[in-house]
Amino acid sequence: MLYIWRRGIGCTVLPIVEAPQYKDIHSYITWLNKIASKWRRIWEENCLYQASPSSKPKFYITAAFPYPNGMMHLGHARTYTLTDIYARYKRSRGFNVLFPMGFHYTGTPVLAMADKIKEGDKATLKLFKELYRIPDEVIEKMKDPLFLVRYFHEKIRESMKIIGLSIDWRREFTSIDPDFSSFIRWQFNKLYEKGFITQDTHPVGWDPVVGTPVSSHDTKGDVEPEIVEFTLLFFTLDDGTILPAATLRPETVFGAVNIWVNPGAVYVKACIDGKNWILSKEAAYKLGFQLKKIEVIEEFKGEKLVGLRTRNPATGWRVPVLPAVFVDPDTGTGIVMSVPAHAPYDYVALKDIMKQKDFLLKLGIKPSELQPIPVIEVPGRGNKLAVDVVESMKIDKQTDREALDKATKEVYSIEFKQGRMLDDIAYRVLSDINDDRLRSYVVAAIKSLIAGKPVPEARDATAKWLSDAGLADKMYEIANGPVYSRWGNKVVVKILENQWFLDYGKEEWKKLAREALASMRIIPPGIRKDFSETIEWFQKRACARTRGLGTKLPWDEEWVIESLSDSTIYMAFYTINYILRNNGIGPEKLTPDVWDYILLGKGSPREISKKTGIPVNVLMDSRKEFEYWYPLDSRHSAKDLVKNHLTFFIFNHAAIFPKDKWPRQIVVYGYVMYRGQKMSKSLFNVIPVEMLAKQLSPDGLRIAIALSSEIDQDLDFREETAYTLIEQLRRIHTLILSHKEIIKEYRKKPIPTRISLEDSWIISKIKERLDHAAEMLEESRIRDAGNTIFYIIEEDIKKYIDILKTKKRYLDEESKVILAHIFDTWIRAMAPYTPFYAEELWSTIGGEGFVVEASWPIIEDEFYSEEALLAMEYIDRLVNDIREIIRVRKKKPREIIVHVVKPGEYRLLWKAIEYIEGNKPMKEYIREVVSEALNKKKAGIIARQVYELASSLPPKIRHIASNVSLDEKGIIKELDVWIEKLVGAPITVYYQGEKDAKIVGREKKPSLPLKPAIYIEFYNK
RNA sequence: GCGGGGGUGCCCGAGCCUGGUCGAAGGGGGCGGACUCAAGAUCCGCUGGCGUAGGCCGGCGUGGGUUCAAAUCCCACCCCCCGCACCA
């Protein structure tokens, strides 16, 4: 096919080349797909990414392994692609790079998924069939969770291969492999020995029928059960029977004037831990799961309690029990204390009751007893906030739940944030004690601990005070209830006894973690703060659960180690697992001694060999390989893992390994959105990567992920953006193909020593671009580097070619060599991003070996000319100025006349740059220049202009200009045809003050260094 | 509530740490032009206002402050997003 350059003055008909004349983007993508499978096969045959110890410096990089409960999606693709680009870049810089991958089977979600398939759950089936396109007969088999997880494992591995991740697959494993379990047991024994594992009670969401903990994926609608802690305040009857009022605001007990029960609800009298309690039937049932021994004695309606007098545990007041329909027997205990001054519900309900004078009379209750009694004062809002809010919102029915909830929220929030306890609450305390001396002690104690304090502090103090006195207890409740488990039962809170915890709160451990963090590089740097705060904030973390896939706790086989706890140091496992497996070392041989030796260098390989039967050389090779790869050089994941996995990773490395094996770097990526929306299974937009890779081609997908946003940014993935980028690949492709023969022939020829300005400029410019890209890649600024490589370099090259054509020297001998070198260089720089594409181009231009194994392009310093860069900048500025004038005059130019300074006149500029770079003010500069000048006034004006000019230069260019003087006339002459083309008129250049220098119209601004005087003659139109 | 992040031009989004070089990178969209029979793609220019000479004036959530100088530093306020634990 014939390809003709149409643009430019020096149109050249090129020899026939195989330029891709694809009709549209889609056929181009088809081609990209084709070469991708070709190169994938060839690379695989050549085992390119298998990394073993060598004499090269090593670079060990890992990304968080996936949990295979679905297809690989864009979130995975982003993390792995960015990691891969970094890995490939490092490889091109001469490192022996290891990038392994495993699969995380630990946990319960796949069990839940398999159950959902069994149950015929519509949403899950729809997802699997319509979005994942899994055949029916396969879905049928997914009722087995192990089948399901293995299926997705295979699919994800396949997708990873499709998009060209440079993974060493020999080291692949899953977190339920027996040898891995052995490794995890070793880790946990170590932590246990160090005292980092403790046991305690722990509240969890619980299915009371099935008898199992529930988390979000076990509930209807995937709701996470939230647990709140109620304080139970013991209001007591004369016989000592306890009415436990459940509250979130124990500090308001000082204003509790009555107790509410729901008259229609069923209550029970029960013996709890040896005492009689009255509470709702539901509450008694729920408390049974919270370490209470409960024996129900009798059942009755709530109305039976109405009128009884109970003792307020804080004040000693004898307050009545009254009926209220708003009381929910299934929240808390069904017993509610009434604090009308601070609780809108209570105030409204009391207003209702006050209307029933006869009713109160019959019970012997005086309305004065039920008046709101203030407890908390809010500056500017008085001390009965609930009353004010209810009155201003005009709420008058206790059934108006919507308004009351709103009012409650408002009162709660304002009082919590701004409220203080009144001083006089102290005098109310234990008012039923008559002994004056005793009372004065009590009052003093309350004054110092509770009265006058801010609400949050008073709340805790009140609960602790009453609890220590045996007058309060606590109860857990589902805050966002009712929540139903996927088996259809209402979730309750159970307190697990003997829960195992990793004690991240332990100061000794935190100290190590802080130290480890301090020694690491964090990218982006802003995330470091998140890590240090997370380290401080961590307390105990439950590390085992009662069910799910995983490894059993070595000393307590009832428990399975939980997924975020068995994935903290697994990077160490990749370094040696394949050696053990290749030598047929089964898990039964992997005793703690073996791990101690391989991972910590403890013990003698001979003895261990004798005990376990593992050959000495296998042990020693393993130790050697671990020592070669560890420490981990870079850990990559999305930012959702910062506050859990990545911090655990730091803690556990710090706990298990010596300092020289602590990780060196963490790189954190942003989230992925799809077409402006969050990705979620319920939105049905979790598009499988294998489909996107087909639709956009692997390289197209990679480049879209890499260039659409910087790594710390959230990426909004859109196919259109990808297409635009693929178009760019096609454009570059065309450009390179049209020079194919030249590149082949000239890429090994030396760059000539005598070259033109534009030649020198392009070489220097490309060097500058590559250096910038490399610098960015070192910091994992993938997008910035990619932009430079795929867009900015292309523009430079096009500009260069355009200049060549304008000067009618396109494809002369010098330019052929230079173009060949640049294209060769360029293809290598693209390889980390679009490896398949780059490999194809590389083979097209006759490159040696594989481009994915080639080194990062380096342009030697000897070809780098700052002067050329400055000269081109000078030309650009000149052209812009000329255009600006033409634009303002709105006329067609006839001739451009330029007066430039002589090469010797750069002194003022240099001095100005010296002042700017030294951060010295303009005033001083002007003063100095003026003091040396003859015509002071003129010198002052010029000095200011020069200073302003210098400060307007980009820092890099400015720095170059600080010790270079250009022959401006020579430069303009060298590129005059190019300038003429850009401004559309002939240009003549003179030195300022030259005898025959032509001037059009009156004299304009004088020439300055880098800023020539411009005169333009226009046509009269 | 606690903790973290953020509000920039028509839109998306860099810059802010280390104040001047920020009308403010880069996209997208829009407008005009080139190419084309035409459309698309591509390329060039414009896209705050004013200006018949390369210039001038407003401007980076709101209000104050520091400074010769602030998108950048300080204070207050308004608004938005994310995480909070046994869950991968």
| Confidence check: pLDDT of A4 > 70 | no
Residue A631, number of CB atoms within 10 A of its CB:
19
Q: Which has the minimum average pLDDT: A121-125, A151-155, A264-268?
A: A121-125
The ipTM, to two decimals, is 0.87
pLDDT in tens, A750-801: 998 888 999 998 998 888 888 888 888 888 888 888 888 888 888 888 888 8
| Confidence check: pLDDT of A12 > 80 | no
A580-608 burial by CB neighbour count: b if 16+ within 10 A, else e?
Answer: beeeebeeebbbebbbebbbbeebebeeb
Question: In angstroms, how far is B7 C1' from A669 CA?
Answer: 22
pLDDT score recorded for residue A10: 29
Q: Which nucleotide has the least CA–C1' distance to A888?
A: B52
Question: In angstroms, how far is B5 C1' from A643 CA?
Answer: 14
Question: In angstroms, how far is B88 C1' from A530 CA?
Answer: 20
Q: Which nucleotide has the least CA–C1' distance to A720?
A: B28
For A487, phi and psi rounded to 5 degrees? -90, 0
Looking at chain A, the whole-number percentage of residues with pLDDT higher than 70 is 95
Q: Which nucleotide has the least CA–C1' distance to A109?
A: B88
Residues in Cβ contact with A23 at an 8 Å cutoff, skipping those fewer than 6 apart = none
pLDDT in tens, A900-927: 888 777 887 887 777 766 666 666 677 7
> If DSSP codes are grouped into helix, strand and coil, which group holds residue A168?
coil
Cα dihedral A152/A157/A162/A163 (nearest 10): 100
pLDDT score recorded for residue A923: 67
Q: Which nucleotides of B are covered by protein (CB under 7 A)?
A: 1, 3-6, 12-14, 17, 20-21, 26-28, 35, 41-44, 46, 51-54, 68, 83-88
Residues in Cβ contact with A796 at an 8 Å cutoff, skipping those fewer than 6 apart = A762, A765, A766, A769
pLDDT score recorded for residue A935: 67
Please confirm whether the linkage preceding A698 is cis (ω < 30° from 0): no
Number of H helices and E strands in chain A, helices first, is 39, 30
pLDDT in tens, A399-458: 887 788 878 877 887 787 778 899 888 888 888 888 888 888 888 989 888 888 888 888
Residue A996, number of CB atoms within 10 A of its CB:
5
pLDDT in tens, A29-68: 889 999 999 999 999 999 999 999 999 999 999 999 999 9
- A772, with CB counted inside 10 A (0-12, 13-18, 19+), is middle
Is residue A928 a contact partner of residue A936, using CB atoms and an 8 Å limit?
no
Confidence tier at A1002 by pLDDT (50, 70, 90): low
| Confidence check: pLDDT of A700 > 50 | yes
Q: Nearest protein residue to B54's C1' (by CA)?
A: A881
pLDDT score recorded for residue A1013: 86
Is residue A205 a contact partner of residue A545, using CB atoms and an 8 Å limit?
no
pLDDT score recorded for residue A129: 93
| Confidence check: pLDDT of A572 > 90 | yes
| Confidence check: pLDDT of A118 > 60 | yes
Angle at the Cα of A330 from the Cα atoms of A325 and A336, rounded to 5 degrees: 55
Q: Which nucleotide has the least CA–C1' distance to A537?
A: B3
| Confidence check: pLDDT of A823 > 60 | yes
Angle at the Cα of A891 from the Cα atoms of A888 and A894, rounded to 5 degrees: 120
Q: Which nucleotide has the least CA–C1' distance to A670?
A: B82
Residue A38, number of CB atoms within 10 A of its CB:
14
pLDDT score recorded for residue A561: 94
Which residues lie across from A173 on neighbouring strands?
A: none
Q: Which nucleotide has the least CA–C1' distance to A563?
A: B88
Residue A12, number of CB atoms within 10 A of its CB:
12
Q: Which nucleotide has the least CA–C1' distance to A416?
A: B1
Calculate mean pLDDT across residues A852-860: 91
Q: How far apart are the C-alpha atoms of A818 and A869, rounded to whole Å?
A: 16
- A418, with CB counted inside 10 A (0-12, 13-18, 19+), is middle
Question: In angstroms, how far is B30 C1' from A1006 CA?
Answer: 40
Q: Nearest protein residue to B46's C1' (by CA)?
A: A887
Query: What are the CA-CA distances from residue A280 to residues A284, A321, A331, A495, A876 (Å)?
Result: 6, 14, 9, 20, 84
Residues in Cβ contact with A15 at an 8 Å cutoff, skipping those fewer than 6 apart = A741
Question: In angstroms, how far is B61 C1' from A414 CA?
Answer: 26
Question: In angstroms, how far is B35 C1' from A722 CA?
Answer: 26
Question: In angstroms, how far is B66 C1' from A944 CA?
Answer: 27
Residues in Cβ contact with A70 at an 8 Å cutoff, skipping those fewer than 6 apart = A127, A132, A152, A681, A686
pLDDT in tens, A496-532: 888 899 999 898 999 999 999 989 988 888 788 888 8
Q: Which nucleotide has the least CA–C1' distance to A922?
A: B68
- A507, with CB counted inside 10 A (0-12, 13-18, 19+), is exposed
Q: Which nucleotide has the least CA–C1' distance to A216?
A: B87
Q: How far apart are the C-alpha atoms of A528 and A517, rounded to whole Å?
A: 8
Is residue A869 a contact partner of residue A957, using CB atoms and an 8 Å limit?
yes
Confidence tier at A956 by pLDDT (50, 70, 90): low
Question: In angstroms, how far is B44 C1' from A991 CA?
Answer: 32
| Confidence check: pLDDT of A6 > 50 | no
Q: Which nucleotide has the least CA–C1' distance to A898?
A: B54
Confidence tier at A233 by pLDDT (50, 70, 90): very high
Question: In angstroms, how far is B52 C1' from A1018 CA?
Answer: 11
Mutual orientation of helices A507-518 and A527-537 as an angle, nearest 10°? 170
Residue type, A552: K
pLDDT in tens, A70-107: 999 988 999 999 999 999 999 999 999 999 999 999 99
| Confidence check: pLDDT of A390 > 60 | yes
Query: What are the CA-CA distances from residue A519 to residues A59, A514, A516, A630, A643 (Å)?
Result: 17, 9, 5, 15, 19
Q: Nearest protein residue to B34's C1' (by CA)?
A: A7
For A223, phi and psi rounded to 5 degrees? -90, 135
Residues in Cβ contact with A422 at an 8 Å cutoff, skipping those fewer than 6 apart = A374, A375, A376, A377, A383, A451, A452
Confidence tier at A937 by pLDDT (50, 70, 90): low
Query: What are the CA-CA distances from residue A5 to residues A438, A808, A810 (Å)?
Result: 104, 13, 11
Where on the phi/psi map is residue A959: left (φ > 0), alpha (ψ -120 to 50), or beta?
Answer: alpha
> If DSSP codes are grouped into helix, strand and coil, which group holds residue A492?
strand
Confidence tier at A13 by pLDDT (50, 70, 90): very low
- A931, with CB counted inside 10 A (0-12, 13-18, 19+), is exposed
Q: Which has the minimum average pLDDT: A170-184, A239-253, A747-761, A901-915?
A: A901-915
Can you list the alpha helix ranges (DSSP code H) found in A194-228? none
Helix then strand then coil, % of chain A, to nearest 5: 50, 15, 35
Q: Nearest protein residue to B14's C1' (by CA)?
A: A710
| The pair of three-digit structure tokens given for residue A829, joined into one six-digit string | 């720089």
Question: Terminus-to-terminus CA distance in chain A, angstroms?
Answer: 46
> If DSSP codes are grouped into helix, strand and coil, which group holds residue A434?
coil
pLDDT score recorded for residue A33: 93
Give A722 or A959, the one with higher predicted confidence: A722
Question: In angstroms, how far is B56 C1' from A884 CA?
Answer: 15
Calculate mean pLDDT across residues A354-370: 90
Q: Which has the minimum average pLDDT: A579-583, A938-942, A980-984?
A: A938-942
DSSP A894: E
pLDDT score recorded for residue A1001: 64
Question: In angstroms, how far is B86 C1' from A526 CA?
Answer: 28
| Confidence check: pLDDT of A384 > 60 | yes
Q: How far apart are the C-alpha atoms of A204 and A501, rounded to whole Å?
A: 14
Average pLDDT, chain A: 87
| Confidence check: pLDDT of A953 > 90 | no
Give the pTM.
0.87
Question: In angstroms, how far is B27 C1' from A721 CA?
Answer: 10
Question: In angstroms, how far is B17 C1' from A525 CA?
Answer: 10
Q: How far apart are the C-alpha atoms of A632 and A709, rounded to whole Å?
A: 27
